[in-house]
Amino acid sequence: MRQWLTNVFRLGLKELSSLRADPVLIVLIVYVFSFAVYSVATGAKLEVANASVAYVDQDRSALTGHILGAILPPEFNPPQEIAADEIKSVMDSGRFVFVLSFPPSFEADVLNGHKPEVQLNVDATAKAQAGNGSVFLQQIVRAEITRFVSGDDTSTTLPIDLVVRTNFNPNLNSVWFSSVMQIINNITILSILLTGAALIREREHGTIEHLLVMPVTPSEIMVAKIWANGLVIVIAAILSLWIVVQTVLAVPIAGSITLFVSGAVLYLVSVTGLGILLATFTTSMPQFGLLSLPVLVIMNLLSGSTTPMESMPVWLQNIMQLAPSTHFVAFSQAILYRGAGLDIVWPDLVVMVALGAIFFLVALRRFRVTMATAH
């Protein structure tokens, strides 16, 4: 056992040395955990921001003026007036996401209780802004009409006093969500790519033959690749959380970083094993990249980091329970967002350990077959 650990340690140092000599991979790691996290967090916003609004005002009354004056930045750009016959052309060209149309005698009909119609045209190709923005605009129109008719903000439509409490992200800032989830996704991506690339690199450089004649076992080689590449990823993820997320983006981390790192280490066993497993079916980096691409897309898009698991069909939710990324996302969100402790996240840890053992054993079996074939 002592000799096994010694071999694993020394082979791991060789992996780190090989990685240090590969400037492309080093640049990739730095980029993925720095600029990529920042750019996605600040660029891919889920909330409404700077949405373009046009309006057709056939009434030109004080009421329409109040409504248009309430459409303000940063959610919306200042509304721009267009002619009624321009609605179709500006929507087709994508110049505006929203177009409001006020009919003639709008204010008079409101005051006389005739319930006139206000048309809101929405460009739903801008899905995130279309859904949230249309709700905001409806609220603005209702609030301004209520204020104009009653003279205050009192609404008689609800017989209750509805109090909304927003937990964990009080300002509904998408940066808080997307920055952390980008790190989670990048851990998955690099865990597969680095370990798979390490095996492919052995073949392309011809060093796999050197390993075959050395007194080392396939398990020692595989574990060495896992701990060496996993160590780099964990350190990069910690630095990204600290420098990019907490310092640059000022996103608060609610839970224990130590507990998160412990779970990440367990998760790395399964995904790095998956990376080696995929690499055993390929002979070059282009082949490995093409094989990894659909796996990474599925693991990232359907793990709950991009869309909620509850929005997926039940059968797909059940299938994704077999993916370690699903449980790692749930584990990470509970700790980093909600400050959960071990008493809450331990079921996800148990599942990650079980799936990690399965992926590791399958990858090890396939790796042994590949080594024997190469020999």
CA angle 139, 170, 36 (to 5 degrees): 105
Q: Place 54 in a pLDDT band, splitting at 50, 70 and 90.
A: very high
Q: Kindly report the average pLDDT of the chain as a whole number.
A: 86
- Bridge partners (DSSP) of residue 57 are 102
Q: What is the pLDDT of residues 301-310, one digit of tens each?
A: 888 888 788 8
Q: What is the pLDDT of residues 298-354, one digit of tens each?
A: 888 888 888 788 878 889 989 999 889 999 999 999 999 888 999 999 999 999 999
- Mention every residue, 6+ apart, whose C-beta is less than 8 A from residue 172: 47, 166
Q: Which of these, 295, 279, 278, 296, lies nearest to 204 by C-alpha position?
A: 279
With a pLDDT cut of 90, the percent of the chain lying above it is 38
- Whole-number pLDDT of residue 192: 92
The rounded distance, in Å, linking the Cα atoms of 231 and 264 is 10
Q: Which of these, 168, 227, 166, 176, lies nearest to 12 by C-alpha position?
A: 227
- Whole-number pLDDT of residue 360: 86
CB distance 311 to 230 below 8 Å: no
Helix %, strand %, coil % for the chain, to 5? Answer: 65, 5, 30
Q: Place 158 in a pLDDT band, splitting at 50, 70 and 90.
A: very low
Is the per-residue pLDDT at 122 higher than 60? Answer: yes
Domain spans, the chain? 2-44+173-374, 53-150
- Whole-number pLDDT of residue 102: 94
- What is the mean predicted confidence (pLDDT) over 61-68? 93
Is the per-residue pLDDT at 375 higher than 70? Answer: no
- Whole-number pLDDT of residue 148: 86
Sheet with strand 80-81: strands edge to edge? 80-81, 53-57, 98-102, 119-122
Q: What is the pLDDT of residues 87-109, one digit of tens each?
A: 989 888 888 989 999 999 999 99
Is the per-residue pLDDT at 156 higher than 70? Answer: no
Q: What is the pLDDT of residues 199-216, one digit of tens each?
A: 887 777 766 666 666 777
Q: What is the pLDDT of residues 266-275, one digit of tens each?
A: 999 889 988 8
- Whole-number pLDDT of residue 19: 84
**Under CATH, what is the fold of the domain 53-150?**
abc type-2 transporter like fold (3.40.1710)
